[in-house]
Structure 1
Amino acid sequence: MSNMTSLNAPKLMKVENYLTWKDSFKSFIKSQDARMWICIEDGYIAATRRVDGRVKVISYEMMDESEKLMINAEKKALARIKMSLPEGIKHTIKHCGTSYELWEALEKRYQNSSRQSVGGRAIDEKANAVKEECSNECSVHLEDNKDATQAFMAEVVPVDEAETTNAEEKVDAEVEKQSEAEKVDAEVQKESEAEKVVADETTEVHEKEVQSNSVCLRCRELQGEVDRLSAQNQSLVSEMSSIKESIFFFC
């Protein structure tokens, strides 16, 4: 009966007890076959041979005795882990094909969720102790700050309400004065801009007048030239008429 009990691996009843189960299962596997734990912890390495210049995984029949012991240990380790898990989580590890992969999956999934181990309890106790110490220390600091605040308030000289009102009126007057100055600056700026616009328009009109006078002067010069040529033409016509009459008289 004792031999049958020794062959049964510890079962993980609840995931909250994972860390406790992990330690028990590890001890059990090592007591059964150290090669099983090597496969779980480091991973099983398949036996290979060089065939036709290429490295290939060999069949069970081609393995030597030590290689057969290792692959048998891997199969047993994988079966032991699966048999130790509750039915509710077996469907989540179907993709794991080796004992190493299955063990790593359990570690990632349940290592941090378990708080039942001795280490976990120690951490919780330490956290509670630190929390309590911090709470006590904060209470002391609060009392000290309260006393210091009361002492400071006792030394504060009350402020005269009239002085406060005068100070506020001075501030309001300064603000109003500043606003008036800003308004004056704005008006001056507007006047300067208006004067600039008038000056620009005056300059433009003057330039147009100068251009117009220049054009008129040229027109007068041309008109004078036309009049001179017209008078010259009339003189030539008169002279030609005289010559024509003389020729007619002699004939």
Structure 2
Amino acid sequence: MNLNVGLEGSSITRPPFFDGNNYSFWKTRMTIFLQSLDYQLWNIVVNGPRMPTRTIEGVVSPKPENEYNDNDFRMLQLNSKAKHVLFCDVGPNEFNRISSCDTAKEMWDLKNLHMKARIK
């Protein structure tokens, strides 16, 4: 573990790096980092992205991309941004574990599950 993190301070532009140690410290810092970038990023990490849908005659279905509006694109962009932040904070081993996830929520949940299993 890099003990200098607490002594040197942190970057407000770079996510906290997770080196596989002191998960609770990293998790708290990452939570605040995501919230500080855009609170909706944290909402997407916790609840998952809102996929664009449409309702026709009472039936809800995925919206075709050619019908997306600006808000639909913003929600999808926020998921991509959250995924990017979560990718930027890990090394190759953790990257390989989470790289197949489609959403930031899946990445976050997989990290939590993996760390809980390691701690036991």
Query: Does the residue aligned with 1:50 lie in a helix, a strand or coil?
Result: strand
2:13 corresponds in structure 1 to 7
Q: 1:74 aligned to 2:88?
A: no
1:85 to 87, 90, 93: 90
- Of all paired residues, the percent bearing the same amino acid is 19
Q: Which amino acid aligns with 1:18?
A: Y
Q: What TM-score comes out, normalization by structure 1 length? A: 0.39
Q: Measure the CA separation in 2 of the matches of 1:69 and 1:105.
A: 24
Structure having the higher Rg: 1
For normalisation by structure 2, the TM-score amounts to 0.78
1:8 to partner: Cα distance: 1.1
The runs of 5 or more residues in structure 1 that have no matched partner are 115-251
Q: Structure 2: where are the runs of 5+ without partners?
A: 1-10
Residue 100 (1) aligns with residue 105 (2): yes
Letter in 2 for 1:9: P
* Larger RCO: 1 or 2 (CA < 8 Å, sep 6+): 2
Tell me the CA shift for residue 6 of structure 1.
Answer: 2.5
Change (3 A) 1:108 1:54: closer
When residues 54 and 102 of structure 1 are mapped into structure 2, their CA distance, relative to the original with a 3 A threshold, is: closer
Instruction: Give the SS at the match of 1:49.
Output: strand
Deviation at 1:112, TM superposition (A): 5.2
CA contact (8 A) 2:53 2:60 kept: no
Provide the aligned length of Structure 1 versus Structure 2.
109
More helix by share: 1
1:51 CA displacement: 5.4
Partner residue, 2:6: none
Partner of 1:27: 32
